[in-house]
Structure 1
Amino acid sequence: MEFVIKISQFLLSLSLLIVLHELGHFIPAKLFKTRVEKFYLFFDIKYSLFKKKIGETVYGIGWLPLGGYVKISGMIDESMDKEQMAEEPKPWEFRSKPSWQRLIIMLGGVTVNFILAAIVYIFMAYGYGESDIAANSIEDGYLVENTLLRDFGLQTGDNVKAINDNEIVNYSDLKKYFLEAQVITVERDGVEKKITLPEDFLGRLSSSNERGFFELRTPFIISKVVDTLANNDKDLQKGDTFVSLNGKELKYFDQLEDRLTDLNGKTVEAELLRDGNTITRTLNVDENGRLGIISGGTYSDIEKLGYYDFIRKEYNFGESIGVGLTRFKDQISSYWMQLKLIFTPSTGAYKGVGGFKAIFDIFPDNWSWESFWNITAFLSIMLGVLNLLPIPALDGGHVMFLLYEMVSGRKPSDKFMEYAQMIGFFILIALVLFANGNDIFKAFTN
């Protein structure tokens, strides 16, 4: 069932983005009286799952979910329709239109991608507001379980004060600045310490099987007591929160292993909090040093216990416009920065590039409209930015040649455009194979 939910969100998001992107080309093409021969969701190599001709355009769904396309008459694109291009230009063809109209048609897709992302962020700010945790309320530092980060000198209990020159004000700032981290300033036992990361730390992190970095330290809240293990008959309930073991405070779940050291096969006196009252239980520690209790709890549970200062902001629609546009701008800046890191070999960030599986993995295994729209907005920005890259066969490649034509007054020949399109196509295939090959490699190494 979890797979069905994830794949449903993945396909819905992908389909929405493809259809709207292609509409961005389709609408101005029709406005400028340019013939659109095909409008397809997914690729229809050899055959289609569905197709219907309405007017002069065939609308359809292909079987290969790697994208979509509109086929515009008189345009050198991935169809490589040389027969059509060999004929005399017709008034309704793309090549017969003024360069400014062709530029608008080519920029239509990415324009729609960016508009969609901005609108989604605006309505998310209005509908969901913003939630965060004040960094100064995280008094006992963060949980650091990633072995690689420990090798760099970081450890559980470190309180991150700054990444590079950026002060950490809220918990979300860690994720915001982490990818460009060079120096991390932490407070450890009341003393500030600077941790310098190696230049290729992103590459090494991407190659690692571990994905966590700075996580919130959470209390030991009971989610489930395993029926077949040591403490199934101890009157423990979901939501009970551990306070201490053998009189020693147990504030965080990550302290449990240390508290159970050398207690294999013995009993331990546990103090727990239930509905605001303290209860005690004598629990069995099995031969592996475990209690047979699964930890859980939500942010709401943690907030009720007063562990951190949760910040919540709600906005009226007018305020949501400013908040949404700011988030849109920040996400574009962040993604450009990621691309810069990826194309800088010394950072090793290219090792973290993923394909369709990586995109699939970011969707949650439970249906959440908030998560769905947040991910869809980010993917829309990603699709827009990638399509602006000056690679022939991408929108950015066509725009590059159109700008050259508008500045120089000379139009590149059809033969040149055919060769450029072919080269761009092979570049795209190489990038797709590399990204999805990374997914396969990680799946096997993990």
Structure 2
Amino acid sequence: MSPFFIKAIQLLLSLSLLIVLHELGHFIPAKLFKTRVEKFYLFFDVKFSLFKKKIGETVYGIGWLPLGGYVKIAGMIDESMDKEQMAGPPQPWEFRSKPAWQRLIIMLGGVTVNFILAILIYAGLAYAYGDEYIKADSLKDGFAVTNTEIGNKLGIQTGDKIMAIDGEPIQRFSAIPLEIINGNRMSIERDGRRIEQDIPVDFIAKLLEMEEQSSFISPRFPFIIEEVATNSHNKGIDLRKGDEVVGVNGQFVQYMDEISPVLEANKNKTVSLTVKSTDGTTRTVEGIKVNEEGFIGVVRSNPIEEFEKRGLLKLEKVKYSFVESIPAGINKGVDILSGYIKQMKKIFNPDTGAYKGVGGFGAIGGLFPESWNWERFWGTTAFISIILAFMNILPIPALDGGHVMFLLYEIISGRKPGDKFMEYAQLAGFLILITLLVLANGNDVYKALFGG
């Protein structure tokens, strides 16, 4: 099966699960407060349904338009815009007849379920897989800048260590790119000195211009050969598994970032390599061809545990008991949510250029791996669940947050907004959502067509 369809299946499965559970978050408190639920739908049933069945007073179904889902609660101005029902006198089983605090709980149910679900998934992943990461401050000789254009924009260089972002110490090396995206100021250790440096406001715009948006730094690894590729232009050359390149044309090198520029300077030429074998002996291999891309046609090995033994880095491995996994899941959920809020602030600041990275279903589908991996599937589903919770609680009419906003107004002021006002607000909210949907998915199409 093609990677596209594997991603599409994962996206559909993930969104279906999240939508059903979100709507269940509204459905359950509505039932508890004896509020009639007329419809419970996965996806939208514009004109017709793929499936529907009435059980009791509720019609359960699957629509054909996969843009979300809904529960139709009697006596509530919602997606259905059922003005006829609202024109009649309030009935005791209707949403509008219930106390404001009950209506508030019903409206908060969806986002609450989404956030709790994310925490449960993160707790389950912590329990099942544990955690493993390179400690950011443990890199003996700092990191390598793998994209010099981005490095220059940020003002970082090979050998640096980023110790903190906005005063918060960095624990995980893998978290650095995202922390830089979300942050405003970084603390760098360079040649034993501590440097405080602002992150350029338009850094995100620069990052979005690059194809490899997240991999602009990497730990500094030695060049250890796994094998000579079967289709290598150097096949037959005396390079063996475990050989470590320690010299190019007689020039001493220690890390891959020192080797790459030398190979780049010798494109379409031959070089000699000094390699150290697994038994500790060194030898020189002559006549190594460098192709037009600056590669020598070998597969590299990155034995992290071996690098840790050499003292080049520290690998942190954490196993969680069932009890320990619960606070770990909560912390992960809170960290993801706070990071997403920071990103939203950047998006709404035109100077950052972050709005260019806004995406729709194509961008969400791109979060999933090209081959099936349950750990990544559940991790991505938890992340999307937090996004849905956050987006739904925004104070936009037609979203849960819009209803919550009007309910809070009612509770504080003691006055309920009129039905006609709610109808107009709902319509305005729909127009906002449709505009955002078109812009986000239009951005996906533009990127697919023009690589923007």
Q: Same fold (TM over 0.5)?
A: yes
Q: Distance in 1 between matches of 2:88 and 2:141?
A: 73
SS where residue 386 of structure 2 aligns? helix
Unaligned runs of 5+ in 1: none
Q: By how many angstroms is 1:429 displaced?
A: 1.1
How large is the Cα RMSD of the aligned pairs? 2.7
Match of 2:377 in 1: 372
Q: Distance in 1 between matches of 2:71 and 2:28?
A: 11
Q: Distance in 1 between matches of 2:413 and 2:291?
A: 79
Match of 1:216 among 206, 212, 219: 219
Match of 2:86 in 1: 85
Correspondence 1:231 to 2:231: no
Q: Is the 8 A contact 2:150 2:216 kept in 1?
A: no
Instruction: State the Cα deviation string for residues 298-345 of structure 1 (Å, max 9, x = none).
Output: 656755766421001112222222222222222222222222222233
Change (3 A) 1:203 1:230: closer
Q: Is the 8 A contact 2:237 2:288 kept in 1?
A: no
Q: Distance in 2 between matches of 1:145 and 1:101?
A: 55
Match of 2:389 in 1: 384
Q: Which segment drifts farther, 105-114 or 163-172? A: 163-172
Q: By how many angstroms is 1:50 displaced?
A: 2.3
Q: Is the 8 A contact 2:140 2:311 kept in 1?
A: no
Q: Distance in 1 between matches of 2:52 and 2:237?
A: 63
Match of 1:121 in 2: 122
Change (3 A) 1:433 1:224: farther
Q: Distance in 1 between matches of 2:136 and 2:298?
A: 30
Unaligned runs of 5+ in 2: none
Mapping for residues 36-435 of structure 1, pairs under 5 Å: 36-146=37-147, 147-175=149-177, 177-211=179-213, 212-222=215-225, 225-234=228-237, 236=239, 241-260=244-263, 261-262=265-266, 264-274=268-278, 281-286=285-290, 288=292, 289-295=294-300, 297=302, 299=304, 303=308, 307-435=312-440
Q: How many residues align?
A: 446
Match of 2:26 in 1: 25
Change (3 A) 1:48 1:404: same
Q: Distance in 2 between matches of 1:263 and 1:407?
A: 72
Q: Distance in 1 between matches of 2:295 and 2:37?
A: 66
Q: By how many angstroms is 1:284 displaced?
A: 2.4
Change (3 A) 1:300 1:372: farther
Match of 1:3 in 2: 4
Q: Distance in 1 between matches of 2:390 and 2:35?
A: 26
Q: By how many angstroms is 1:115 displaced?
A: 1.1
Change (3 A) 1:246 1:382: same
- AA in 1 matched with 2:52: K
Q: Is the 8 A contact 2:107 2:400 kept in 1?
A: yes
SS where residue 354 of structure 1 aligns? coil
Instruction: State the Cα deviation string for residues 181-209 of structure 1 (Å, max 9, x = none).
Output: 33333333444444433222223323444
Q: By how many angstroms is 1:368 displaced?
A: 2.3
Q: By how many angstroms is 1:430 displaced?
A: 1.4
Change (3 A) 1:396 1:305: same
Identity %: 55
Q: Is the 8 A contact 1:40 1:61 kept in 2?
A: yes
- AA in 2 matched with 1:256: I
SS where residue 389 of structure 1 aligns? coil
SS where residue 131 of structure 1 aligns? strand
Q: By how many angstroms is 1:21 displaced?
A: 0.2
Q: Distance in 1 between matches of 2:240 and 2:57?
A: 66
Change (3 A) 1:48 1:130: same
Change (3 A) 1:298 1:71: farther
Change (3 A) 1:172 1:395: same
Q: Distance in 1 between matches of 2:300 and 2:109?
A: 49
SS where residue 179 of structure 1 aligns? helix
Q: Which segment drifts farther, 4-13 or 290-299? A: 290-299
- AA in 1 matched with 2:182: E
Q: Distance in 2 between matches of 1:176 and 1:267?
A: 38
- AA in 2 matched with 1:50: F
Q: Is the 8 A contact 1:207 1:351 kept in 2?
A: no
Q: By how many angstroms is 1:76 displaced?
A: 0.7
SS where residue 162 of structure 1 aligns? strand
Q: Distance in 2 between matches of 1:49 and 1:249?
A: 67
- AA in 2 matched with 1:201: F
Q: Is the 8 A contact 1:148 1:205 kept in 2?
A: yes
TM-score (norm 2): 0.89
TM-score (norm 1): 0.90
